[in-house]
Structures are given as C-alpha cells and as structure tokens.
Amino acid sequence: MLASTSSSSAVDMIKARTYDVFLSFRGEDTRDGFLSHLYNDLCRKTIETFIDSEKLRRGDEISEALLTAIQGSRVSVIVFSKDYASSRWCLDELVKIMDCNKCVVPVFYGVDPSNVRKQRGSFADAFAKHEENFKHELERVKSWRSALTAAANLSGWDSQVTRPDSILVDKIVKDIMNKLNCGTSNANLEGLVGIVEHGLQCNRRP
C-alpha cells in the first residue's frame, strides 16, 4: 500500500489493517532505486508491506499514521543509507521501531555498519547539525543515537557484502519470509551480518 491520503483518513485506513512489513528509509537516497525494487518484490510475494509517502512526514513530529503502521507491522526493515540520519523523521521512526520490540531487519545500503553504530562519517555530520538544531531537546538526540547503535548491532544485510542489488533484495525477502513463517533456518541467508536478533514477538501477529 502506498499511503498518500490525508492524515486522518490515512490513520483510519491503517488502523483497519495490519502489515507484515514496515519499511523505514530515507526517500532521497533509495526510494526510486533499491527501495522500489525491494517493495515490489515483497508485493510479488504477497507480503503486506507499508511504505509511506512524503505527505505523512509533515510538521515537526512523526505522524499518527506512521506510528500506527509501525505498531501494526510484524517486521520492520530499516534501510540505513548515507543521509538516513539527516532526517529527524527517520530517526523518530527508528526510535519507535526499537521501542516496539518486534522483529527488526537492518539493511546497510552503501554505508558501513560501524559508521551507523558509532555515528561516524555522514552520520557524525548529521548529528553535529541535530545537536545544534535540537540543543534544547538533547534527550531526543540521545534517544536517536541509542536507537541507531542498538539497530546497527542487530543481524542484518550489508550491500557491500551481498552484491549486486538483485541478489541483495532476493536474500532480504527470503529472510523476511523465514521470519514471518516462524522459520529459524539460515538456508539461503549467506551474507547475513551481525549476530543479534531483536524482538520476542518476531514471528507473531500483534
């Protein structure tokens, strides 16, 4: 589903259904390339997937529609890209995803997992700006840092390890299908990086 309605009607529609997968991503980095391929492949596998539109990212706070979609999804896929951390909406999404304690699949697309984990490189640049812009909300900035570190410590996928994108997408979709079907086998999951799983409710409907 591509959410593109008004905020109130979007919330009503989202409340009426649950999703298998919630996609968190920086649109400018990945929407028209990798992300669209991943979304389309999930849809072909009849996996109910929530992908937001820019209309749900207006104002200073994460919208109720996005919060509802996150809470109602069984698996969240976080696509970390170069400018992911420059978006406060992405970071607020990330905090909510981690707080829900459900299944999380991080994807490191064109970024080193250690740079996400330790907020180095473009992530350091983004946080330098956040600490200036949110100098009166430093606890919020701290929660963003903590969520990034926690998510980057999880078992996930690295585009610099699994290539090309077509193979990466295929591996991610198989990983998600295993999780949704309560599968625990690592067959066909060569290339998975990290060792920590997240969320006791990974394979249960909310």
Query: Which residues are designated catalytic?
Result: 93
Q: 46: alpha, beta or left, given left = phi > 0 and alpha = psi -120 to 50?
A: left
How far apart are alpha carbons 103 and 122 in whole angstroms? Answer: 26
Q: What is the DSSP letter of 24?
A: E
Question: What is the sign, positive or negative, of the torsion defined by CA atoms of 178, 190, 199, 36?
Answer: negative
Residue 41, C-beta contacts closer than 8 angstroms, at least 6 positions apart: 169, 170, 173
Q: Which residues are CB-neighbours of 35 under 8 A, at least 6 positions away?
A: 23, 25, 27, 51, 79
Burial class (CB in 10 A: 0-12, 13-18, 19+), 181: exposed
